[in-house]
Structure 1
Amino acid sequence: MRTFYSVLVCMLIYTMSFSQEKKETSHDTIPQKVVKLDEILITGNALTDPVLTQASNDYQKNIVQPKNVADLFNNINGFSVIKRGNYATEPTFRASQYEQLNVQYDGGTKAMHACPNRMDPITTHVIPEEVSKIEIIKGPYTVRYGATFGGVINMVTGNPSLEEPGFHGKVSGGYESNGNSFVTMLQLQQVTNKYDLVGNVGYRDFGNYEDGSQTEIPSSFRSTDYGVKLGYNFTENQRLQGHWRQSFGRDVLHAGLPMDTDYDNSSILSLDYKWANMGEVLKSITAKSYYSFVDHLMSNTHRPSFKASGALSAVEATTIGGKVELNWKPLNKLTVFSGFDLLHIARDGDRNRTVKIMNGMPLPTPKLFVDKVWQDSYINDFGVFTEAKWPINNTTILTAGVRGDFVVSNIKDPEADFEALYNLKKRHEQNVSGTISIKKLVSDKLTMEVAYGKGTRSANMIERFINHFSVGQDAYEYIGNPNLKAEVNNQFEIGFKGYENLPANFNKLRYEASFYYSYFENYIVAIEDARLNRKFMPTMQPVHPKVFRNLDKAYKTGFELMGQLDFLNDYYFKAQAAYVYAKNKDLNESLPLIPPFNLAFTAGFEKEKLWANVHYKINSKQENIAKSFGEIETAGYETFDVRFGVKPFKEVSIGIAVLNVFDQTYHDHLNFSFNNQADFGTVPVNEAGRNITFFLLKKF
């Protein structure tokens, strides 16, 4: 794997040196300061954009005070947030979550979590102020960005090469009354025609918040982040860019997990290169390589279980990947993207337990145990792909793609009981994915998109290799299964986007609608196995652990709707709705983590120096639950937020918000329950009560 990574970097260097000798055969007719890297998937170009996409940006107006990147998804239609506390939150889209979503930064960079309880998802490793745009491909409708099961989420960070030449910067700060929390961030950048350099540093300090009943929720954390991005333009059509960032989380309390984070240190390095406008047939070459390392320490020092057994778990995760893609036109109207990518994930680490009480009796001398968390495991995925776009006529574009993934997984240091349970050996898998879609411009005001995608996902490391650890919402121990078949999503979707110009004081009516259906093959769930017994605390209920298995009879269906009325030039009213229904026919229940039907209404105005909006959200009761997953029915709730912003000076922005204005006590269906907390039962973690936030941004 490390050899491949070195080869990929050498390819980048070779390509750059070769390009200096080769004469340019073609130039783009549109003036362009520098070539744009493929950090952005959605560019507004029908010939290259994937179908059924969505983009969201301008978070200073939508979210005044994000705790981490996951908060940026709160108001995007179709998204919900899985919450274990203030820090360990991550998005779910249409009831697809975790590795079912292909989550990445800047067109491909990934950083996988080290903690088996996902205390450190990818959303914790980059500060939200650095994200300029979120792009969503709503299903497995492209094969170009890695193995994709339920959709692609691309979080785009700022590109300094698109700024005006010179020295620029910005400083921002924010305060949150509920928890006495604050954030700060400083960014500096230098832009020239030849190179650009940007650096940023941020600090976040969040305290425990109170719910609507003034109950304090253990959820505090601190994090320090910095990053440096350097880009160099060799020629008008060649660019190399490197990005280095580190994040340091400290003293993180997880209300819905059995342990807390002492520290979480992550490092991410990425290198991007593009050679554009090469010729008539071969149009461009792009290459990306990246490396990330997460060092995570968790303990139960401040939990009730510490009296009987102290636990300290040091784990680490290494992610290495890369991609090379060719954009070529074998025919005048045929655009083809071909290439290969690679993803290597390795994890290791142990849990050290000091047992002080055994079978209810204090031990005269505590006993020490070492439990293998990840058992020194790895998964490699080498993928090859081709995707073609053909404009059938002036109003219709056909897209088709196929992808093959060659997956190798192995466990190098297994526990004796896990080794006895399975015939362990290096495993090889071959997965095939594909998509076909049509984008039709029905009129100059209406676009229709129809797509089918087959997304294939090999089991993740928890599903393969976890050994008697509690990694779910319930109290079960979980055991992995290295022989799991790959999960397959066959998804069909039809979508509409359009607008109508209106007379008089009503300017425009915009609307969007998507309807989808998925049937799954080899869906992966954890099922109680009565043949096996609990390993740790054997007298504790439930006695039998859960083992990950494949099921065949599962499906989901749903829709998203959006309508926005623009009137009086600066005013708007927006309504949106999302619904997902899922069924596990094998167990005759819902699939887990299905958000309820929700409605959201937003009204506001946006002027050049002043903006404001009110946001009213309705979540219905969720009765469609997965009892085998430990889920319980969740009552519906309503929230009301008010946001206001002003630009008193040219480069100064001020934002104020009152969130949960009526101080409601509520929890979302996807919130985990309190776990191993002294003052709480096993009930879902409530959201914050009334919260007043303040945000200040100064550019220079």
Structure 2
Amino acid sequence: MKIFYSVLLCTLISAASFSQKKEKIKKDSLKQKSIKLDEVIVTGKLKKDPVFSSIANKYAKKIVQPKNVADLFNNINGFSVIKRGNYAIDPSFRASQYEQLNIQYDGGTKAMHACPNRMDPITTHIIPEEISKIEIIKGPYTVRYGATFGGIINLVTQKPNYEDYGFHGKVSAGFESNGNSLVNLAELQYITEKFDIVANVGYRDFGNYKDGFGTEIPSSFSSSDYGIKLGYNFTKNQRLKLDWRQSFGRDVLHAALPMDTEYDNSSILSVDYKIDNIADVIKSISVKGYHSYVDHLMTNFNRPSFMMMEAESAVEATTIGGKIEMNWQPTEKLNLFSGIDVMNISRDGGRVRVVKIMNGNTLPTPMTFNDKVWQDSYITDLGFFTEAKYNLSEKSILTAGIRYDNVTSDIKDPEADFATMYNLNKRTEHTFSGTVSIKKMLSENYVLEAAYGRGTRTANMIERYINHFTVGQDPYEYIGNPDLKAEVNNQFEIGIKGFEELKNGFDSFQFETSVYYSHFENYIVGIVDNTLTRKFMPTVNPVNPKVFQNLDNAYKMGFEASLQLNFLENYNFKTAFSYVDTKNKDLDESLPLTPPFTTKLSFGFEKENLWANAQYNLVSKQDNISASFGETTTKGYQTLDLRFGGKPLKNVTLGVAVLNVFNQGYNNHLNFSFTNQANFGRTPVTEPGRNFSAFLQYKF
């Protein structure tokens, strides 16, 4: 790490000494405002964007009171969410989830969870209203943003309006009837030509919601957040930005996890620097560094198991990383991006158990045990990459990239039983990934894309070092395996998108579709080991734990399609389909957490100051399940959401919505099951019933 930051400092010093020759900016096929720093991946420029990339935004018109950032994915084609309650929600894309997705903020900043049950995923550590757009690369089709297995998600936070100097701000408030939930946000910014500062603070208080059957689901939580962004422009082509944010979750109830969160505190600091338009060959140099820390406490004090055993677990996670990238152009047709990035994840913490009843007998004196959760472990990934874009012709662009990752991992304070299972030494892995793709403009309005990507993912800390903890959807204890090989995703994809002007009352028609196939190597799953027994509560079924292992015979394939018809100037009809099929041939079943076929139909009206939308969601039955993961068949369901909004005054935005209009009772296939809850069996968590929502925002 010291070497990396020394290189970073030297780069800053040397960059300042480069000539600052201005480069004539070439026009592209799409109009786009200037972007400060490399906080975005998808620029809106057809010739520069990665293949199979997309942008989702305009959340004020689509989303109502998101519980956390993961809720923003609900209306993006191909996405589902994994739900354990209202707080611990993870996005899933094409049956890839967790570390299989490369999720980051502003082009590289990361904050990894501290809880082994993912009570605090990366999506909980930022204010949802602060996200201006979500950028998606749908597979391992770029090597520039860290090791990538199933795709990249870049959460872009809102930026100051650099064209409007002085003081500005906004305040907003929202309410949901189902749970009597409140959301508040205030933001203030001051902008000059040389520097800018943005500060925001938010508070959210969500109560238990009722599902469509009228059952109250334990899911309440509150959270407070604030953030400060400072930017300084040394010159017209040099900028430095510092970003600091903290989030404080309190009294979080997790319907599908064995414990609740007493507190979850996170701090994220990031620093970005870029010098642009340097010289004829060296175009720009950008540097990023970040540090995040998560402090998490969970207990079972309000759970049925408390009568037999008190459990309290304090854990922490630290993520430190950075990146240096140079953009250089040796010839007019060849554009290269080369760089180094690093990420270090370290976790520690333990669980204190006070056992009151053992083997059915009440102990005269409770017994206290201390369990090591993370066993003081770390993983460091140092990556080197080069990606090239070559203009084969005016209408064809070839992209190729290669990446090498040096991954070291170690466990510094192992439990005695874990140490006897493995020869625990510091381990170094070498992984290689790469991509090649072509983008061809068939005409002015139609684009064909084809790509192959080899993505890699080394085992995460749960898969390496967890020791007899329940971390899956099922009630099994899981044991890590520090000798796991890295997963490999060989993904092929071809797609086409287009736009056409129409006549006779129909304004325009646009569509996008793609099909993909992935062959997996060394896929990591938990397999029951009949030679081992449970460590905690050994008489409770299932007696045998699962151990993480590699499997080779696995694949996924699927397609996505969307189309939009715009007519009568302000009206539109949209439809979107997504389907993925997975197979674990070794166990003759689907891979875990495979979503069902999903269709969305939407009819909308949109003007600058008034909009309305009705969306009908159709989700099919899912009987292609992973029985070994504890999944059960999920019934299909249909829901209707209505949204209406407008700007009654110049600086005022008002929105109202009715979600799940028909009060449908259902559960998403990816929802985890109720765990350690009074009056609930081990069945999947059900979704909210009818919900009325209102939102008000004032800008100044």
The TM-score bracket by the shorter chain reads: over 0.9
Residue matched to 1:513: 513
- 2:640 counterpart of 1:644: no
Residue matched to 1:64: 64
The alpha-carbon deviation at position 161 of structure 1 amounts to 5.4
SS class of match (1:628): helix
The alpha-carbon deviation at position 28 of structure 1 amounts to 3.7
Residue matched to 1:596: 596
Checking the alignment, whether the CA contact within 8 Å between 2:222 and 2:252 is kept in structure 1 is yes
SS class of match (2:493): strand
Report the Cα distance in structure 1 between the residues aligned to 2:21 and 2:60, rounded to whole angstroms. Answer: 44
- 2:24 counterpart of 1:25: no
Residue matched to 1:393: 393
Checking the alignment, whether the CA contact within 8 Å between 2:19 and 2:278 is kept in structure 1 is no
The alpha-carbon deviation at position 10 of structure 1 amounts to 2.7
SS class of match (1:443): coil
Checking the alignment, whether the CA contact within 8 Å between 2:672 and 2:685 is kept in structure 1 is yes
Residue matched to 1:7: 6
Report the Cα distance in structure 1 between the residues aligned to 2:153 and 2:212, rounded to whole angstroms. Answer: 32
Report the Cα distance in structure 2 between the residues aligned to 1:697 and 1:127, rounded to whole angstroms. Answer: 15
Report the Cα distance in structure 1 between the residues aligned to 2:481 and 2:690, rounded to whole angstroms. Answer: 44
Checking the alignment, whether the CA contact within 8 Å between 2:55 and 2:133 is kept in structure 1 is yes
Report the Cα distance in structure 2 between the residues aligned to 1:27 and 1:438, rounded to whole angstroms. Answer: 26
Checking the alignment, whether the CA contact within 8 Å between 2:18 and 2:279 is kept in structure 1 is no
Identity, % of aligned positions: 65
- 2:616 counterpart of 1:616: yes
- 2:547 counterpart of 1:547: yes
Query: Which aligned pairs between 1:489-504 and structure 2 lie closer than 5 A?
Result: 489-504=489-504
Residue matched to 1:265: 265
The alpha-carbon deviation at position 159 of structure 1 amounts to 1.4
| CA shift digits 1:59-105 (9 cap, x unpaired) | 00000211110010000000000000000001000000000000000
Residue matched to 1:136: 136
Letter in 1 for 2:146: G
Letter in 1 for 2:588: N
Report the Cα distance in structure 1 between the residues aligned to 2:271 and 2:161, rounded to whole angstroms. Answer: 15
Checking the alignment, whether the CA contact within 8 Å between 1:5 and 1:289 is kept in structure 2 is no
- 2:103 counterpart of 1:118: no
Query: Which aligned pairs between 1:405-424 and structure 2 lie closer than 5 A?
Result: 405-424=405-424
Report the Cα distance in structure 2 between the residues aligned to 1:610 and 1:95, rounded to whole angstroms. Answer: 36
Query: Which aligned pairs between 1:456-471 and structure 2 lie closer than 5 A?
Result: 456-471=456-471
Report the Cα distance in structure 1 between the residues aligned to 2:195 and 2:120, rounded to whole angstroms. Answer: 34
Report the Cα distance in structure 1 between the residues aligned to 2:552 and 2:298, rounded to whole angstroms. Answer: 36
Report the Cα distance in structure 1 between the residues aligned to 2:677 and 2:570, rounded to whole angstroms. Answer: 49
Report the Cα distance in structure 1 between the residues aligned to 2:6 and 2:374, rounded to whole angstroms. Answer: 28
Checking the alignment, whether the CA contact within 8 Å between 2:240 and 2:273 is kept in structure 1 is yes
Which stretch has the larger CA shift, 494-503 or 554-563? 494-503
Residue matched to 1:574: 574
Residue matched to 1:223: 223
The alpha-carbon deviation at position 500 of structure 1 amounts to 1.5
Query: Which aligned pairs between 1:355-370 and structure 2 lie closer than 5 A?
Result: 355-370=355-370
Letter in 2 for 1:353: R
Mark the CA change 1:684 to 1:586 in structure 2 (over 3 Å): closer, same or farther. same
Checking the alignment, whether the CA contact within 8 Å between 1:8 and 1:289 is kept in structure 2 is no
SS class of match (2:96): coil
Letter in 1 for 2:464: R
Residue matched to 1:48: 48
SS class of match (1:330): coil
| CA shift digits 1:393-433 (9 cap, x unpaired) | 01000000000000000000000000000000000000000
Residue matched to 1:206: 206
Letter in 1 for 2:360: G
Residue matched to 2:427: 427
| CA shift digits 1:285-309 (9 cap, x unpaired) | 0010000000000000000001100
Mark the CA change 1:206 to 1:516 in structure 2 (over 3 Å): closer, same or farther. same
The alpha-carbon deviation at position 213 of structure 1 amounts to 1.4
Report the Cα distance in structure 1 between the residues aligned to 2:508 and 2:34, rounded to whole angstroms. Answer: 35
Residue matched to 1:488: 488
Report the Cα distance in structure 1 between the residues aligned to 2:298 and 2:8, rounded to whole angstroms. Answer: 35
Checking the alignment, whether the CA contact within 8 Å between 1:5 and 1:321 is kept in structure 2 is no
The alpha-carbon deviation at position 44 of structure 1 amounts to 1.8
| CA shift digits 1:13-52 (9 cap, x unpaired) | 524xx61x55423344589998720001111223321110
Letter in 1 for 2:387: E
Report the Cα distance in structure 2 between the residues aligned to 1:349 and 1:593, rounded to whole angstroms. Answer: 28
Report the Cα distance in structure 2 between the residues aligned to 1:112 and 1:239, rounded to whole angstroms. Answer: 27
Residue matched to 1:127: 127
The alpha-carbon deviation at position 267 of structure 1 amounts to 0.2
Checking the alignment, whether the CA contact within 8 Å between 1:35 and 1:276 is kept in structure 2 is no
Mark the CA change 1:160 to 1:4 in structure 2 (over 3 Å): closer, same or farther. farther
Residue matched to 1:443: 443
Report the Cα distance in structure 1 between the residues aligned to 2:162 and 2:195, rounded to whole angstroms. Answer: 11
Residue matched to 1:180: 180
Report the Cα distance in structure 1 between the residues aligned to 2:141 and 2:526, rounded to whole angstroms. Answer: 28
| CA shift digits 1:210-263 (9 cap, x unpaired) | 001111000000000000000000000000000000000000000000000000
The alpha-carbon deviation at position 6 of structure 1 amounts to 4.1
Report the Cα distance in structure 1 between the residues aligned to 2:356 and 2:163, rounded to whole angstroms. Answer: 60
SS class of match (1:99): helix
Report the Cα distance in structure 2 between the residues aligned to 1:188 and 1:562, rounded to whole angstroms. Answer: 38
SS class of match (2:494): strand
Mark the CA change 1:549 to 1:33 in structure 2 (over 3 Å): closer, same or farther. closer
Mark the CA change 1:11 to 1:47 in structure 2 (over 3 Å): closer, same or farther. farther
Report the Cα distance in structure 1 between the residues aligned to 2:13 and 2:414, rounded to whole angstroms. Answer: 41
Report the Cα distance in structure 2 between the residues aligned to 1:171 and 1:12, rounded to whole angstroms. Answer: 40
Report the Cα distance in structure 1 between the residues aligned to 2:44 and 2:173, rounded to whole angstroms. Answer: 33
Mark the CA change 1:571 to 1:142 in structure 2 (over 3 Å): closer, same or farther. same
Checking the alignment, whether the CA contact within 8 Å between 2:378 and 2:409 is kept in structure 1 is yes
Report the Cα distance in structure 1 between the residues aligned to 2:679 and 2:25, rounded to whole angstroms. Answer: 67
Report the Cα distance in structure 2 between the residues aligned to 1:35 and 1:537, rounded to whole angstroms. Answer: 56
Q: Unpaired runs of 5+ in structure 1? A: none
The alpha-carbon deviation at position 635 of structure 1 amounts to 0.3
Checking the alignment, whether the CA contact within 8 Å between 1:297 and 1:312 is kept in structure 2 is yes
Mark the CA change 1:275 to 1:35 in structure 2 (over 3 Å): closer, same or farther. farther
Checking the alignment, whether the CA contact within 8 Å between 1:70 and 1:123 is kept in structure 2 is yes
Report the Cα distance in structure 1 between the residues aligned to 2:366 and 2:163, rounded to whole angstroms. Answer: 61
Q: Unpaired runs of 5+ in structure 2? A: none
Residue matched to 2:86: 86
Report the Cα distance in structure 1 between the residues aligned to 2:633 and 2:691, rounded to whole angstroms. Answer: 27
Mark the CA change 1:410 to 1:670 in structure 2 (over 3 Å): closer, same or farther. same
Report the Cα distance in structure 1 between the residues aligned to 2:580 and 2:163, rounded to whole angstroms. Answer: 41
Residue matched to 1:522: 522
SS class of match (1:302): coil
Checking the alignment, whether the CA contact within 8 Å between 2:334 and 2:390 is kept in structure 1 is yes
Report the Cα distance in structure 2 between the residues aligned to 1:170 and 1:268, rounded to whole angstroms. Answer: 23
Checking the alignment, whether the CA contact within 8 Å between 1:5 and 1:320 is kept in structure 2 is no
Checking the alignment, whether the CA contact within 8 Å between 1:12 and 1:273 is kept in structure 2 is no
TM-score by structure 1 length? 0.98
Mark the CA change 1:624 to 1:498 in structure 2 (over 3 Å): closer, same or farther. same
Report the Cα distance in structure 1 between the residues aligned to 2:38 and 2:72, rounded to whole angstroms. Answer: 22
Residue matched to 2:316: 316
Count of residues paired in the alignment: 696
Mark the CA change 1:606 to 1:27 in structure 2 (over 3 Å): closer, same or farther. same
Checking the alignment, whether the CA contact within 8 Å between 1:35 and 1:237 is kept in structure 2 is no
Mark the CA change 1:411 to 1:156 in structure 2 (over 3 Å): closer, same or farther. same
The alpha-carbon deviation at position 117 of structure 1 amounts to 0.1
Residue matched to 1:326: 326
Checking the alignment, whether the CA contact within 8 Å between 2:111 and 2:293 is kept in structure 1 is yes
Letter in 1 for 2:494: I
Report the Cα distance in structure 2 between the residues aligned to 1:524 and 1:250, rounded to whole angstroms. Answer: 33
